[in-house]
Amino acid sequence: MTSPLLRYRAVFVSDFHLGTAAAQTEHIQQFLESVECDYLYLVGDIIDLWVSIKAGKWRQRDTNVIRTILEKSEYGCRVFFTPGNHDALFRKLNGAALGNIRIDHDFTHITASGQRLLIVHGDLFDRSVTSLKPLAWSAAWCYEFLTVFMNWFHSFLHGKAERRGGTQIKAKFKRLIQYFSSFQEHITIDAKNKGYDGVVCGHIHKPKVETHEKGTLYLNAGDWVENCTVIVEHFDGRLELLYWDQLRRELELDSLRLIPLPEPKQVATQK
């Protein structure tokens, strides 16, 4: 592991979808190796059990991500995992504490500035999942096939793999989901009614930080299939949405200019 370059009080990530062709596993690995935090929240759909249960979908690189998370927990990082709909099987472990790793339906995080945040994946606020599960499941497999096909198609055309093929179709599908459920409004009002100052969620793959008109914060950690985003809490309690693509570029500059790292290129290079 390379030396961490980024330090935060808390890190919130969701929707890795490990075990699918679309998961940007190399970027996840790079990010995890570059970051150090006191609290790591895994906000659901980390392992895609809908897809990875099929033989051959799970790869060594997916295992490496899990290993890196376990390693962080061994070295003092407190890990909190709220399973999502794609890794709902882990909900059977809700309430469990495994070393420094806790699993539960939701968590309460208190920031350094005293804000109370509800941490939850959010699928229970999405009607396309709660009442139309077969449709959501079929869509997950359509997206998997589409990604595999587009990767093949682009490598055939350009001689190199291209991951972004399904983005437009996925965006249309996500708009359809929003038609069925005003996800953001429902989850934010629920958090407000429960007395929270804000909610950190994932699920809809739309990274966003917004303050509701009633004052409650909505923070969506996005995903690592298309956006590669993370919500961080700085040591003064400030919350921020960060894009790994941008962060990666900045790290390259910093690592070369400021900190003499043992393996700076490994941090900066896209594999």
Phi first, then psi, for residue 231 (nearest 5°) are: -100, 130
164-188 in b/e form (b: 16+ CB < 10 A) is ebbeeebeebbeebeeebebbeebb
Cβ atoms of residues 32 and 69 within 8 Å: yes
The region of 18-26, 119-127, 186-194, 236-244 touching Mn ion under the rule CB under 5 A is 119-127
Quick one: which of 84, 165, 166, 264 contacts Mn ion (CB under 5 A)? 84
Q: By CB under 5 A, tell whether 45 contacts Mn ion.
A: yes
Name the residue among 165, 181, 175, 187 with its Cα closest to residue 131.
Answer: 181
The region of 107-115, 118-126, 144-152, 163-171 touching Mn ion under the rule CB under 5 A is 118-126
Q: By CB under 5 A, tell whether 106 contacts Mn ion.
A: no
The region of 83-91, 102-110, 180-188, 257-265 touching Mn ion under the rule CB under 5 A is 83-91
Q: Write the burial class of residue 128 (CB in 10 Å: 0-12 exposed, 13-18 middle, 19+ buried).
A: buried
Quick one: which of 20, 34, 85, 188 contacts Mn ion (CB under 5 A)? 85
Q: Which is nearer to Mn ion, 9 or 203 (CB)?
A: 203
Name residue 93's amino acid: L
Q: Which pair of tokens denotes residue 78?
A: 């407190």
Q: By CB under 5 A, tell whether 207 contacts Mn ion.
A: no
Q: By CB under 5 A, tell whether 9 contacts Mn ion.
A: no
**Least distance from Mn ion to the Cβ atom of residue 43, Å:** 9
Q: Which residues make up the interface to Mn ion (CB under 5 A)?
A: 45, 84-85, 123, 203
